[in-house]
Amino acid sequence: MVAMNLLIVESPTKAKTISRYLGKDFKVLASMGHVRDLPKSKLGVETEKGFKVDYVLDEKKSKILREIKTAGKKAKKVVLAMDPDREGEAIAYHVGWYLENKVGVKKGNINRATFQEITKEAVLRAVNGKGKMDMDLVNAQQGRRVLDRLVGYKLSPLLWKKVRRGLSAGRVQSVALRLICEREKERGKFKKKAYFRIWAVFGKKKEVFVAELWKVEKKRVKQTGKVELFDGNYSYSYSLFSSEKEVEKLLVSLDKDFRIESVVGRESKRQPGPPLITSKLQQNAARKWGWSGKMTMRVAQDLYERGLITYHRTDSLSISNKAVEDIRGYILKKWGEKYLSPEVRRFKTRSKSAQEAHEAIRPTSVKKDVGKLGLNSRQNKLYKFIKERTLACQAAVAVVRKTKIDLRNGETEFLAEGVQMVFPGFLAITGDKFEDNVLPELSEGEVLKSSNLCNTEHETSPPPRYSEASLISSLEKQGIGRPSTYAPIVSTIMDRRYIEKEDGRFLPTALGDAVNEFLVKYFSDVVNLPFTAQMEEDLDEVASGKKKWQDLLAVFWGPFSKKLANVEKKAERVKIKTEKTGEKCPDCKKGEVVIRVGRFGKFKSCSLFPDCKYTAQFVEEAGFKCPDCGNEGVIRRTRRGKTFFGCSDYPKCKWAAWKKPS
């Protein structure tokens, strides 16, 4: 039998795509992720012996390991072609360890191959090379894994004792939870106040436009307030007018005639955004389609493994010269020269940790027709967006004409603003909507009569709750998390029921509040923003070979282990707040019925628990009738805590919707 070469990747889809390019000389197998990791039943880290790690083979991967063993023994050469990041490097390292130590493959016969895109050219170039394992990346992943194991494995039992059994804590996830909890407190402290905006309506030759009061006695009507938040500052606007009496007094003082003081028109250029990185891909998918980070990354992974986009876990804004040439050629051919940027546009990567060898997320070929790729609706949406954003970064600027008309009436000034598209540029490629607001032709000194003076009442808004997009943006701004970690951070605290989603925004549950309260009180240095950001920077230095991961852990572990022992002895138990219903317990007749949060969501219980064991299902009415059967509509939650609407007569009536019926 002729000996074959063996190539190992993480997933079957990636294996299938690559096997099309390699031909019969290669056998391609998928490891299905990690084959070797820390044990589940114990800590697996010897903290007193330089953080020696006790890795074990995954029992669930025994069939895959047998396949790798059989193929490895026959192979002339083994190529490990896992993803080009820390996690991929670690998977490759552990598969390599297995081949060398359990199969008997010589180290010199094991090569590492990395590529940013799964195309024939990129795969063949990488496979034919003699790549080596990047141990700095392996060590960075190992450092993060051990650090997270120490925090999670040691903090979780403490939460069991001091808050509730079955809880767990994670290093970065706990910071994300704190952001959400702090925001809820900040919203509670915010004092809302009413204010009024004043408008004048004008007409000229059947053209109607509106101007807003913006100055009174040369003082700006619009005022700005600022609140200091846990993760930065929040600015909000209000006006000088806080009561209807003040508004009426001003309206009565106005003449009927308004004199045009100035008409200013100028052209403004709108630049296209840079190509996509992981955080921006997740933020845009959340804003556009309400996708979770986890869903976005799953769809992007499918596209990458099918060879349609470059690697999707990246914080680099670089695009290869060859790709730029193809992009510009495509724009020139499809839209013409005037839609092409006169010069090649380059974007500077801001992230200190970005690997310039990596690229931004882009299609492997912009010439591919989306409609002929056989994609499902989600894949199609994301691929189309990535393609449009990639093309836009080399397209011409959009040009709009902005017009401002200043109208004076006594000591007041009103302002009308108009905007009109002159040239769409890159907007013609992205398809972003742009609505013209054209003002009539007017001249300085012209006098107009207002057909109507009116006012609108408003209220200052508290800092908004985090959405998936804004939470990732905040983590990125603070330097917390990396491209591969944003999605798991959010999904983990959702799965633990520490937070829930309401109208696309996160709010803490009573359980999440209790966990956060305990961690902030006793481990404030671990769940603060600067510490977590610094830890990320230190791990980046491990990845670049400037630090040893064991030294990093030694600095952290000493004080942390002492604090653990101290807190276990002295910390008081934290009570999880309950919601009162005003009902008496039907079992014991003494306690009140309260709403608690359990592993599967909210439920009714007796306030005298554990003395009284009464429990009942909690049904939260939503204030509408079921469109199908007419019974009461209720609020329900998925297993991951996402809110949806259903019928109280479920399972007889199966009506359900994400949005509340109007």
Dihedral sign for Cα atoms in the order 411, 415, 416, 418: positive
Give the C-alpha separation, 387 to 549, whole Å. Answer: 39
Token pair of 290 as six digits: 């309400």
| ω into 651 cis (within 30 of 0) | yes
Find residue 209's DSSP bridge partners. Answer: 202
Contact 239, 195 (CB under 8 A): yes
User: Taking the mean position of all CA atoms in its chain, how far away is CA 416?
Assistant: 37
Give the C-alpha separation, 661 to 657, whole Å. Answer: 8
Contact 125, 115 (CB under 8 A): yes
| Cβ contacts of 48 within 8 Å, gap of 6 or more | none
Tell me if residue 394 falls in helix, strand or coil. coil
> Parallel, antiparallel, or unpaired for β 207-216 and 412-423?
antiparallel
Neighbours of 75 (CB within 10 A): 23
Q: State the amino acid at position 359 in one-letter form.
A: E
Cα 191 to Cα 182, 241, 457, 461, 505: the distances in Å are 16, 17, 17, 9, 21
| ω into 424 cis (within 30 of 0) | no
What is the torsion angle, in degrees rounded to the nearest 10, for the CA atoms of residue 532, residue 536, residue 539 and residue 540? -160
Q: Of all helices (H) and strands (E), which one includes residue 154?
A: helix 135-162
Dihedral sign for Cα atoms in the order 118, 124, 126, 131: positive
Contact 57, 38 (CB under 8 A): no
Give the C-alpha separation, 563 to 547, whole Å. Answer: 25
Residue indicated by tokens 């990488």: 126
Give the C-alpha separation, 304 to 364, whole Å. Answer: 9
Q: Read off the DSSP letter of residue 103.
A: I
* Residues that are catalytic: 311
Cα 524 to Cα 83, 356, 471: the distances in Å are 35, 35, 20
Contact 101, 47 (CB under 8 A): no
What is the torsion angle, in degrees rounded to the nearest 10, for the CA atoms of residue 578, residue 580, residue 585 and residue 588? 50
Give the C-alpha separation, 600 to 656, whole Å. Answer: 19
User: Taking the mean position of all CA atoms in its chain, how far away is CA 266?
Assistant: 37
Find residue 203's DSSP bridge partners. Answer: 208
Q: What angle do CA 147, 48, 151 make, to 5 degrees?
A: 25
Tell me if residue 459 falls in helix, strand or coil. strand
User: Nearest to residue 386, comparing CAs of 375, 396, 397?
Assistant: 375
